[in-house]
């Protein structure tokens, strides 16, 4: 578990003893003014959040930059390539200096073919109508087999799996639909009070949205019901009582 992060990246006196297990990136990054992401954030959640934000708002250059730098910090070659490719696709022939800086920060992670592709597109930008190199981590480009040449369009057919309640809640959180996610999780916790993950994410929502009223109503509904993390429920109740 990690300590809760305040909006400024520091702990307030009231927050110092409050522990929350894993923080949803959506709660933090909207108010985070640094290019680097807060270190305690869960890697998989952060990667998913960045990809979702880029797909939803392609013009968000801050998220593009954070995404690239995050994958660089994690030595994730495939992630760096996909993130930089998405930045190039969005900017086209604009933003030369940003594209150049991000390429130079990223180039050590690339194969010679990938380097050649970015260098070739440095001035003119990437034309969406041209064949793109293969990238499993790009969320904006078309994916092709081959090394920069159109060989055959990569075919991906997967059975559609229904989302779990937790996955649906996280999808809502990534879309900033905090109230809908909270209500869904409340139903889940009432039905399955011993589900560890449902409890954790619900407590995160209460804390980061400072929704004292919703927390207290849920606290009363649970009554004497044993939950997966009763100590964290009690700590958050104390936090809201003192605030």
Question: pLDDT (tens digit, 9 = 90+) per residue, 19-74?
Answer: 444 555 555 555 555 556 555 555 677 777 788 788 878 888 988 998 898 899 88
Last residue of a domain, one of 120, 142, 157: 120
**Position 149 confidence tier, pLDDT thresholds 50, 70, 90:** very low
Give exposure, 30-39, as e/b (b: 16+ Cβ within 10 Å).
eebeeeebee
Q: For residues 94 and 10, which has the higher predicted lDDT (pLDDT)?
A: 94
Per the structure, the complete domain to which residue 81 belongs is given by 42-120
Domain annotation covers residue 83:
yes
Residue 151 pLDDT > 60: no
Domain total in the chain: 2
Domain annotation covers residue 202:
yes
Angle between helices 196-209 and 212-222 (to 10 degrees): 150
Residue 237 pLDDT > 80: yes
Residue 196 neighbours by CB distance under 10 Å? 12
The predicted pLDDT at position 103 comes to 93
Q: How much of the chain exceeds pLDDT 90, in percent?
A: 24
Residue 178 shares a structural domain with residue 233: yes
What does the block give as tokens for 204? 């995160």
Domain annotation covers residue 229:
yes
Residues 215 and 240: beta-carbon distance below 8 Å: yes
The predicted pLDDT at position 47 comes to 78
The pTM score is: 0.54
Last residue of a domain, one of 120, 152, 185: 120
């Amino acid at each position: 578990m990690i300590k809760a992060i305040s909006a400024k990246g520091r702990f307030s006196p009231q927050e110092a003893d409050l522990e929350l297990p894993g923080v949803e990136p959506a709660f933090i990054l909207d108010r985070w003014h640094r290019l680097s992401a807060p270190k305690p954030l869960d890697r998989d959640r952060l990667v998913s959040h960045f990809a979702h934000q880029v797909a939803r708002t392609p013009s968000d250059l801050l998220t593009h930059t954070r995404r690239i730098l995050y994958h660089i910090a994690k030595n994730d070659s495939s992630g760096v390539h996909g993130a930089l490719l998405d930045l190039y696709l969005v900017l086209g022939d604009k933003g030369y200096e940003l594209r150049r800086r991000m390429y130079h920060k990223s180039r050590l992670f690339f194969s010679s073919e990938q380097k050649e592709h970015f260098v070739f597109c440095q001035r003119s930008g990437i034309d969406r109508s041209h064949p793109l190199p293969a990238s499993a981590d790009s969320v904006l480009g078309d994916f092709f087999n081959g090394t920069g040449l159109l060989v055959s369009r990569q075919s991906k057919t997967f059975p559609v799996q229904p989302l779990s309640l937790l996955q649906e809640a996280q999808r809502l959180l990534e879309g900033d639909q905090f109230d809908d996610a909270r209500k869904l999780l409340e139903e889940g916790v009432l039905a399955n009070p011993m589900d560890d993950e449902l409890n954790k994410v619900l407590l995160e929502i209460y804390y980061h949205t400072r929704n004292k009223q919703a927390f207290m109503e849920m606290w009363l509904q649970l009554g004497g019901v044993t939950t997966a993390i009763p100590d964290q429920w009690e700590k958050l109740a104390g936090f809201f009582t003192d605030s």
